[in-house]
Structure 1
Amino acid sequence: MMSGYAARLCLFGMFGLLLAATAWLYAPGIHGPVLLDDRTSVTLLETDVDSRQRVEQVFGDGSGPLGRPVTMATFVAERAFVGDDVRWSKAINIGLHLLNGLLLAWLIHRLLGAADYARVMAVALLAAGLWLVSPLWVSTVLYAVQRMAMLACTLMLLALIAYTYWRERYSAGEKGILRFALVIVCATLAVFAKENGVVVLPVLLLLELLWFGCRRGDRVDQRMLYQVLGALVLGGVFVIAVFALAPERFLAHYALREFTLVERLLTQSRILWDYLGQLVWPDVARMGLYHDDVVLSRSIMSPITTLHALVAWCAALLLAAAISRFALGRRVAFCLLMFLVGHSVESTVLPLELYFEHRNYFPGIAVFLLLALLLAELARRWRVVARPVMAYLALALLMLSFNTSSQVEIWANSYLLRFNQISAHPASFRANADMAVMYAQAGSLERALAYSAQAHAHSPERDGDHYLRNLALSCMAGRPLPASAGTIASALDAPRPLSSVATLHVLVQMLQNEQCVQLDRLAIADAFASVYLRPEAGATASANIYALLAVLENALGRYANAYEYTAQFLAQAPGTPRGLLMQLHFSTALGKVSEAEALQRQLLTLQAAGALTVSDQETLALYLEAD
């Protein structure tokens, strides 16, 4: 038999091979397409910028309320050192995923050791390996912008690992101040990588309460027990108070969604079980980026699976409470609560989209920690049974690798990805819209319009947005719209005809660049003006739509119309530097000298307050020099 050292060396070697194999599985995916938020948070970052602009790039992203500067710093550094090829972004994500697998093995080993399980290295490496090759992570790792979720997970894992080392010192009677400071630093950085990193704080409290039992040596530390319970109660009260005292901050955004708060909560009860199913028994045919076709729970009984999901969650929580009298039961309960708490930010009351696979990247760890815990307990009680079970799990690891490989091949090719998404989610608005764009770019306008119609049928979008998308598709295909598609005048005949900024942005950009030779730009601009610039028309739009229409009129040299659009933009977003600079441009072009001077003074005030970006300051300087 091998010595303990040789056995550990063999296990490390096997895990190293697994890491290398995982990198090899994911490698084809670096050639995949740029997707959705990649375009706004990653590919728009410029490489030829000075240090001040780099700082602005780090702190100026609008993806979340805190700007996610830790993650943005990695993207900015990447652009500075290796260039703007998105393949580097995906390659770095793959490396980060491997690091997270290594950290997870480390954490599981630490936690099982703290629970007095012996010889658990093989169990920890096997559970981490299963997590590492789960096909559910392909849509996270190969979606460049989801480095935000991955990096937050890295820092949360480091915080948990650091906590186990601090606790080791604490149990020995030492304070371990530096180790505890490391926990706080990692937890704080996790929040600034992505806001849901804040869930590591309640996870740490639950870890202490349920996994370690607030023990110091062989006795319960009553002081620590009361502190942990008090922190959990205070945290819960704080969260409830935030929503109770300022509900409009959260509920107002539901006006932009097709579901209510109650409907979202009911739907999430089903979705969380689906997430678990995809972790335990993956259905790769349904995996991917688009899940906007998820069936909404209108009530507890509609669909009936909502009731089943709620009853199942209640039963799971009651069972967890019942078995918490025992040490093993408390640790099982911790795994359940870790999963639920891990989803508490993105899968509860916030008006976010209903379903995204990357939301499981950290919470999903709980499933594999539970597996490791049960394997360790099995090895302690019935070692002869544990060995064949681990052998079967090693076979499962191989099968998961095949599934992951097939998913990576799909994500490596934009056409395969689109066909896979429409096959798995035929009622998805985004999948149909993507197919429409693909066929339009190939010159097949008829098929593009058919998919556009399907997208419209499966979404609450307005008729105006649908018509503008068809205009953009005709532009891509280089062919005029058929008469059956209707007219822009009829499409805009509504009190609020447009809502999609993205659709209008694509069309305006192509019109601005004169890519649509078959379209009459003046006629399109006139149609917009007749709706939005005639007082009697009474149509309204969001601020960003007015800004885009101003850009279109500027491209046509019609500064009076552009001025009116920008005035409407500023009426909704007063003091916005972007709007003020646009209005300064149009005021100057129209010879409104006194107004231009007033705008310059307002912008100088904002500049003195540090509210202008470097680009804004450079634009303002051009007008000041002209004077």
Structure 2
Amino acid sequence: MYWPGLYGSYLFDDYPNIVNNTDLQISALTVPDVTRAALSSPSSEFKRPLASLSFSANYFLTGLNPFWMKLTNLLIHLLNGVLTYTLALALIRNASSHTATTSNARDPRWIALWISAAWLLLPINLTAVLYVVQRMESLANLFVLLGLVGYVHARQQMQTSNQGFVAAVGSLLLASSLGLLSKETAVMTPLYAATIEWALFGARSANQRRDYRIIALFLIVLAIPLVIGLIWQLPRLLNSGAWANRNFDLPQRLLTEARIVVDYIHWTLLPTPKALSFYHDDYLVSTGWLKPWTTLLCAFILAALTALVIGLRKRAPLISLGLGLFLGGQLLTATILPLELVYEHRNYFASFGLLLALIPLLTAGSEHLPAASARYILLGGLLSLWAVVTISTASAWGSPLILSQTLAERAPNSPRAQYGLGYTYIVLSKYDRHSSFTTAAYAPLEKAMRLPNASILPEQALIMMNARMQQPIKIEWWDSLAAKLKARKASSQDEGSLEALAKCAEKAECIFDQGPMLQAFLAALSHPYPSARLLAIYGTYAWNVMGDRTLGEKMLAEAVALAPSQTPYRITLAKMLILQGRKNDADQEIAKLELLNLGGRLNADMAALRSLPETP
């Protein structure tokens, strides 16, 4: 079912993380190259080195061909399917051992198989497979699942022989550590394990007495880190500056996420192609309990589900556990962190919880629940629905043009979806002014430009397209770009757009006036606390295009001061100093680079700096 989608192309965040990430694209297995690749991810301060190395391995073996990248993702998904089967089987057997609600009339292996098969088919999990960069999510969850399987089996051993505590601790610590090397979501492993412990084991030993080792374990790996994390993050999150580049604040985010989490349930169990639109930047923000009114309703639904988690723990532990795992899976990405509001791949693990709650009900023996035939028909209908939506969506992902057209149709008010369609037309046009794709690109890009909360990506695409084709650039595109940068703090997409325009001008591929570009930079820098990346982009543009060496050096020095561990800024600053004949100052920067030269990853950069001629 996924096979047609393997023939598609890269999309959205694949470009900064993989396609345009030259540090990732290694040609030799040397320690410096591998180290540089491992630390190349621009998506996170933690760099996600294991996921980055997996992309590098793909590149080393097969280049940038997206087919092999996507096939690797599919194999990881299949392996995770095996792990969901193993985990589901262990959980079902444990639940069956101390309640009659879970039927003994059905072989637990069949129930686990249905859960795993359904999870593999779920359309909401498609982006974790075909969206290449979200290997970070699936790879992290591979270790999450391994850790939970190890923990449950260790706890089973403790129930019979009072041995296995070391294995339980090791499973959680090793899984969390390895998972974090792929994506931060693996930090949820102890919470999932604690939920399983609460629902099935009750922190009791083989003689049914309270096992204080288990309580101490979760105090150390869950409660204490949680408190430390809140103490560390809350002051920043309560500062309005943390939300400056979002179109919502903390209370609005919490209200909106209540609706989003309920939508996730709908999109998981009863998905529609329109709902699974990939781009959700047009999602309506809740500004009050009744704005929209579904906010309050969804808050009640979540409260009711939480009550079910607590109330059904003894009578129906699998339902309690499944709902608990689903809700727990939302705590990192759907609460107080200033992340984007909606992404389907955030349910990669959480969807397993919903299936764990639902499918045992649909497959239970008739002596426990009525209407067995109706339940099997319902299960068959759900599996068919999931299969149809997955294969139809995967087929669209197999063609960049069809996918862009499909996503733009599914989300007509999404700036990203409309931009994606326009960008696809630009790629297909190959900057030929006479191409029909060139003509087609203008409408979706100008539509995206005017939609609420749009970034400056559409304006950037329009300006670059016309500049490269030596066509007139509309002043309204520059005005719209500057107005957006003036109205709000630049987002990462805005900064990426400015960087693309600056590089295009630096390479002389785009010819346009410096005045509008300067106004764009000044608008972006008018907000407090500009990012190091924005300062570096402006400084490089000032040096290379405007010819203002003083301004260029000043901006790079500020960027280095803000982000001293970001080596590209320090390398650029050192180069500027050398080219001005200030060897002593440059040597100081190179000495600091030496301290950051882990595994020799900066050897080539420093050698290039030392070979530069001084031009006072």
TM-score range normalised by the length of the shorter chain? 0.7 to 0.9
Whole-angstrom distance in 1 between the partners of 2:65 and 2:84: 30
Structure 2 counterpart of 1:123: 111
> Offset of 1:341 from its aligned partner?
0.9
1:501 to 495, 503, 523: 495
Structure 2 counterpart of 1:93: 73
Q: How does 1:525-604 map to 2 (within 5 A)?
A: 525-528=514-517, 542-552=531-541, 555-556=544-545, 559=547, 561-574=548-561, 575=564, 577-589=567-579, 592-593=580-581, 595-604=582-591
- 1:84 lines up with 2:64 in the alignment: yes
Q: How does 1:290-309 map to 2 (within 5 A)?
A: 290-309=279-298
> Offset of 1:306 from its aligned partner?
0.2
Whole-angstrom distance in 1 between the partners of 2:531 and 2:171: 45
- The CA deviation string for residues 436-484 of structure 1, in whole angstroms up to 9 with x for no partner, is 323445346665444333223323458x876544312323555222466
Whole-angstrom distance in 2 between the partners of 1:430 and 1:374: 40
- 1:228 lines up with 2:215 in the alignment: yes
- 1:455 lines up with 2:445 in the alignment: no
| Closer, same or farther: CA 448–321 of 1 in aligned 2, 3 Å | same
Please state whether the residue corresponding to 1:291 is helix, strand or coil: coil
- 1:415 lines up with 2:401 in the alignment: yes
| Closer, same or farther: CA 229–598 of 1 in aligned 2, 3 Å | closer
Alpha-carbon contact 1:495-1:538 (below 8 Å) kept: no
| Closer, same or farther: CA 563–311 of 1 in aligned 2, 3 Å | same
> Offset of 1:73 from its aligned partner?
2.6
Structure 2 counterpart of 1:28: 4
2:413 to 427, 444, 448: 427
Whole-angstrom distance in 2 between the partners of 1:568 and 1:387: 70
> Offset of 1:531 from its aligned partner?
8.0
> Offset of 1:550 from its aligned partner?
4.2
Whole-angstrom distance in 1 between the partners of 2:25 and 2:486: 40
Deviates more, 1:71-80 or 1:437-446: 437-446
1:475 to 447, 467, 473: 467
> Offset of 1:612 from its aligned partner?
7.1
Whole-angstrom distance in 2 between the partners of 1:581 and 1:69: 22
Alpha-carbon contact 1:109-1:124 (below 8 Å) kept: yes
Whole-angstrom distance in 1 between the partners of 2:342 and 2:8: 22
- 1:337 lines up with 2:324 in the alignment: yes
Whole-angstrom distance in 1 between the partners of 2:284 and 2:62: 43
**TM-score normalised by length of structure 2:** 0.85
Aligned length: 584
> Offset of 1:365 from its aligned partner?
0.4
Alpha-carbon contact 2:125-2:348 (below 8 Å) kept: yes
- The CA deviation string for residues 267-322 of structure 1, in whole angstroms up to 9 with x for no partner, is 00000010000111111222132100000001111000001011111222223333
AA aligned opposite 1:472: M
Deviates more, 1:506-515 or 1:192-201: 506-515
Alpha-carbon contact 1:546-1:568 (below 8 Å) kept: yes
Whole-angstrom distance in 1 between the partners of 2:258 and 2:468: 41
> Offset of 1:373 from its aligned partner?
3.2
- 1:369 lines up with 2:363 in the alignment: no
Structure 1 counterpart of 2:376: 390
Structure 1 counterpart of 2:230: 243
| Closer, same or farther: CA 242–483 of 1 in aligned 2, 3 Å | closer
Alpha-carbon contact 1:525-1:553 (below 8 Å) kept: no
> Offset of 1:495 from its aligned partner?
9.3
> Offset of 1:145 from its aligned partner?
0.9
1:619 to 605, 610, 615: 605
Structure 2 counterpart of 1:610: 596
Deviates more, 1:281-290 or 1:69-78: 69-78
| Closer, same or farther: CA 318–183 of 1 in aligned 2, 3 Å | closer
Whole-angstrom distance in 1 between the partners of 2:385 and 2:320: 29
Q: How does 1:92-171 map to 2 (within 5 A)?
A: 92-115=72-95, 116=97, 118=104, 119-171=107-159
Alpha-carbon contact 1:134-1:400 (below 8 Å) kept: yes
Gaps of 5+ in 1: 1-24
Structure 1 counterpart of 2:50: 70
Structure 2 counterpart of 1:40: 16
Whole-angstrom distance in 2 between the partners of 1:199 and 1:141: 21
| Closer, same or farther: CA 353–507 of 1 in aligned 2, 3 Å | same
- 1:194 lines up with 2:204 in the alignment: no
Alpha-carbon contact 2:6-2:70 (below 8 Å) kept: yes
Report the RMSD for the aligned CA atoms in angstroms.
Answer: 3.3
- The CA deviation string for residues 499-540 of structure 1, in whole angstroms up to 9 with x for no partner, is 611212222333333333xx34xxx23554578699xx9899
Alpha-carbon contact 2:269-2:382 (below 8 Å) kept: no
AA aligned opposite 1:133: L
AA aligned opposite 2:215: V
Alpha-carbon contact 2:334-2:341 (below 8 Å) kept: yes
- The CA deviation string for residues 558-579 of structure 1, in whole angstroms up to 9 with x for no partner, is 64x1441231232243245433
> Offset of 1:413 from its aligned partner?
1.1
- The CA deviation string for residues 124-155 of structure 1, in whole angstroms up to 9 with x for no partner, is 11121111111112222101111111011111
> Offset of 1:26 from its aligned partner?
0.8
Q: How does 1:347-366 map to 2 (within 5 A)?
A: 347-366=334-353
| Closer, same or farther: CA 478–445 of 1 in aligned 2, 3 Å | farther
Alpha-carbon contact 2:460-2:501 (below 8 Å) kept: yes
- The CA deviation string for residues 197-217 of structure 1, in whole angstroms up to 9 with x for no partner, is 111101111211212334445
1:274 to 263, 280, 286: 263
Deviates more, 1:172-181 or 1:439-448: 439-448
- 1:404 lines up with 2:390 in the alignment: yes
Whole-angstrom distance in 2 between the partners of 1:279 and 1:293: 20
Please state whether the residue corresponding to 1:35 is helix, strand or coil: coil
AA aligned opposite 1:401: A
- The CA deviation string for residues 21-59 of structure 1, in whole angstroms up to 9 with x for no partner, is xxxx11111111211221222232213142222122113
Structure 1 counterpart of 2:100: none
Deviates more, 1:443-452 or 1:310-319: 443-452
- The CA deviation string for residues 72-104 of structure 1, in whole angstroms up to 9 with x for no partner, is 232223333343322111001111111111211
Whole-angstrom distance in 2 between the partners of 1:430 and 1:555: 31
- 1:515 lines up with 2:509 in the alignment: yes
AA aligned opposite 2:10: V
Deviates more, 1:202-211 or 1:538-547: 538-547
AA aligned opposite 2:568: R
Please state whether the residue corresponding to 2:4 is helix, strand or coil: helix
- The CA deviation string for residues 55-77 of structure 1, in whole angstroms up to 9 with x for no partner, is 22113424223222222232223
Structure 2 counterpart of 1:22: none
> Offset of 1:121 from its aligned partner?
1.6
Structure 2 counterpart of 1:19: none
> Offset of 1:184 from its aligned partner?
3.0
Structure 2 counterpart of 1:11: none
| Closer, same or farther: CA 227–494 of 1 in aligned 2, 3 Å | closer
Larger Rg: 1
AA aligned opposite 2:45: P
Gaps of 5+ in 2: 98-102
Whole-angstrom distance in 1 between the partners of 2:485 and 2:345: 40
Whole-angstrom distance in 1 between the partners of 2:59 and 2:128: 20
| Closer, same or farther: CA 539–281 of 1 in aligned 2, 3 Å | closer
Deviates more, 1:490-499 or 1:247-256: 490-499
- The CA deviation string for residues 166-214 of structure 1, in whole angstroms up to 9 with x for no partner, is 1221112242256332443223212222111111101111211212334
